[in-house]
Structure 1
């Protein structure tokens, strides 16, 4: 199977459900290989890391999309994402990212730990009540979604009463990040983008009139005083991105982690007994079953290469993070789930200019949540067949039933 056929198979339902065998087929072609006209794919850890950190490889921003994807702006989901830091390049990316980073600081995130601990125990109390009679509880809906959405909404200043609506909206919106064959699949994504934009436009208006100590108020103030630093469309796009990115990947991290514990009882016992650290467990989940499986870049400079493969001007590159995280050149026995690994350094949060701003927050939430979950429910067990989300780029579960009481 050549590279193009592998990419085609990754887009199928079976490929999305379990991409790892296809990654190994791709690895057989080399750490970097051709997968179509003007397209390459990278599966090696060193090579993916190299491309992520090289600012000469850019993301598909609005200017590039206009050139190579005419009509992209007809889809409000794609248009909105192109106005955010996720799909912006220099100089706009640095301008917007510096503003967001100035209010989304490491100190602010670290100070959230007591609130995260309190939220974890509140949600565990509710799970205990739901499953007190031995009936299954959906871990994804009752905990894995509600914990990170609650934390990011507290940071943003989103009222608690509004948070229930965001899981389905985020799921619909993120279809715009997937590799799709037909733009008709973006109908729900466009509707979600419109609804989320309207929501944050209204919330921003409220914060202009009545500022509070939250991220929305801080960014609204910047946009109000200097539109050259942050325009209104950029403000709304980045607020939506902060919300969705603030819980989408962490939800998947928590769900993937618990499913792996059920599949690996020795790891569950080690984490419960303290012979494995929460941080080591989190890093291995990120490596072994990354919530983000791939990203892409474009070469806009002649003379570039990824590994030993040339990437002349206009070359697109699929960077298969999920494959790079299982590279046998980088990891001993990469097919084993081993939370005792040292120096794991998975690429799940990206690298270089687009390294995830929320990486520290996601790690904090996982490191607090998983030990507390196991300590609270000594008899925690699968409560039914889990259902994967039908996604390739953002990998996680739709439902993960658990039994919390015998």
Structure 2
């Protein structure tokens, strides 16, 4: 297969659900390949070293300028976030978030993550078997954590789920159909209005949540961020942190259940649990691809990407690059080098990575301590997306 053919196959339902054989074919062609037949992309990158180079080189641009006044709601919301803006706006917004979204704040959340996990496991036990792990645990834990982090009332979380999904569908590889654009616009409008009201409430009655912290940083002149930019960043932060953690928890279950001795080790040894989270993120990463634009003719991986050309940067392929990882298809928590690139690299490294890691590190041991005989009740169903990879449903039995 050519790189163009692989790119086309990745956009099919079958390719989205089983991309790794296609990534292997891509590796056989080289770390970076031009895609002259693609209407959207000038090149596709899958080699680890090349992907790392692209992500760290500011000449491979992510994002764009501030949104136009007449931009549609989803474009406006995303373009007002740090993840979709170029410098200097990206750095300005990121500094404001770093002032409030500190490692100390995440560390302070850990007891709450443990408490929420235990409450959900109690609830899971009451539901009996079989039960959908994604709906009844994988979704509820990160939703509860985001509720605490942002100060979103727990009853509002179900309202968020469908709207988050519409934005995820829009952002997925090849997802800009008219129907998905319309759904994403509606979701962006509704969530932007929700966050605007929440910001106004925090200005009059601040709490201990991240939104209160951000408002205080902004109003004190310590963070250069407009309210529209705060809204756009909150929308992206919720989506990215929430969906990433759902997928991390779900993607961990099948490889673990195939290794009963590893289940016991994860339940009993925090170091093994931490190593397992990292290997899950490498082996079946929650974020599979991003896009960069060459701001000039740029050489990477032995090819030259022309100025203005879009590069599809496949993180999931980089994480299974045999030039970087021996036996990359093997799930191995004892792997000496698990330094995956799922959370990106360089200036746009995922700001919520530490939170997602904490949730996985704390939740998985508790899950298997409570349900050591947990097993699949049937084949899990892969979600339709590829940019963010996970399971739509996963039936499980809890065991004795």
TM range, smaller chain = over 0.9
Query: Do residues 78 (structure 1) and 78 (structure 2) align?
Result: no
Listed as ranges, the matches of 1:55-74 within 5 Å are: 55-62=58-65, 73-74=71-72
Distance 2:139 2:111 in 1: 19
Query: Hey, what's the Cα distance between the residues in 1 that align with 2:290 and 2:70?
Result: 19
Cα distance in 2 for partners of 1:295, 1:8 equals: 16
- Of residues 228-237 and 267-276 in structure 1, the stretch that sits farther from structure 2 once superposed is 267-276
1:315 matched to 2:309? The reply is yes
Q: Name the SS of the counterpart of 1:367 in structure 2.
A: helix
Residues 117 and 273 of structure 1, relative CA distance in 2, 3 Å threshold: closer
- Distance in 2 between residues matched to 1:383 and 1:111, nearest whole Å: 36
* Count of matched residue positions in the alignment of Structure 1 and Structure 2: 396
Over 3 Å counting, the alpha-carbon distance change for 1:402 and 1:91 in structure 2 is same
Q: Is the 8 A contact 1:257 1:285 kept in 2?
A: yes
Gaps of 5+ in 2: none
Shift of 1:22: 1.1
Residue 359 in 1 paired to residue 341 in 2? Answer: no
Q: CA deviation at 1:223?
A: 4.5
Counterparts of 1:2-401 in structure 2 under 5 Å? 2-36=2-36, 39-62=42-65, 73-74=71-72, 76-131=73-128, 135-180=129-174, 182-224=177-219, 229-272=224-267, 274=269, 277-302=272-297, 304-401=298-395
Contact 1:276 1:339 in 2 (8 A): no
Find the aligned partners of 2:303 and 2:20 in 1 and give their Cα distance: 23
Q: Is the 8 A contact 1:120 1:369 kept in 2?
A: yes
Q: Is the 8 A contact 1:170 1:244 kept in 2?
A: yes
Deviates more, 1:228-237 or 1:101-110: 228-237
Q: CA deviation at 1:53?
A: 1.1
Q: Secondary structure at the match of 1:249?
A: helix
Contact 1:287 1:326 (8 Å CA) reproduced: yes
SS, match of residue 29 in structure 2: coil
Q: Is the 8 A contact 2:117 2:363 kept in 1?
A: yes
Give me the whole-angstrom Cα distance separating, in 1, the residues matched to 2:299 and 2:366: 46
- SS of the equivalent of 1:112 reads helix
Q: Which moved further from structure 2: 217-226 or 147-156?
A: 217-226
Question: Where in structure 1 are there 5+ consecutive unaligned residues?
Answer: none
Query: Cα–Cα, structure 1 residues 173 and 23, in superposed 2: closer, same or farther, change >3 Å?
Result: same
Q: CA RMSD in A?
A: 2.1
SS of aligned partner of 1:364: helix
Give the distance between the partners of 2:34 and 2:102, measured in 1 at CA: 40
User: Offset of 1:320 from its aligned partner?
Assistant: 0.6
Q: TM-score scaled by structure 2?
A: 0.93
- For the 8 Å contact 1:156–1:216, the answer to whether it is kept is yes
Aligned 8 A contact 1:77 1:176 in 2:
no
Measured against aligned partners, the alpha-carbon deviations of 1:356-379 in whole angstroms (never above 9, x if no partner) come to: 111111111111111111110122
Deviation at 1:228, TM superposition (A): 8.9
* Cα distance in 1 between the residues matched to 2:333 and 2:75: 37
* Alpha-carbon distance between aligned partners in 2 of 1:225 and 1:105, rounded to the nearest angstrom: 17
Deviates more, 1:173-182 or 1:250-259: 173-182
Note the C-alpha offset of 1:193: 1.1
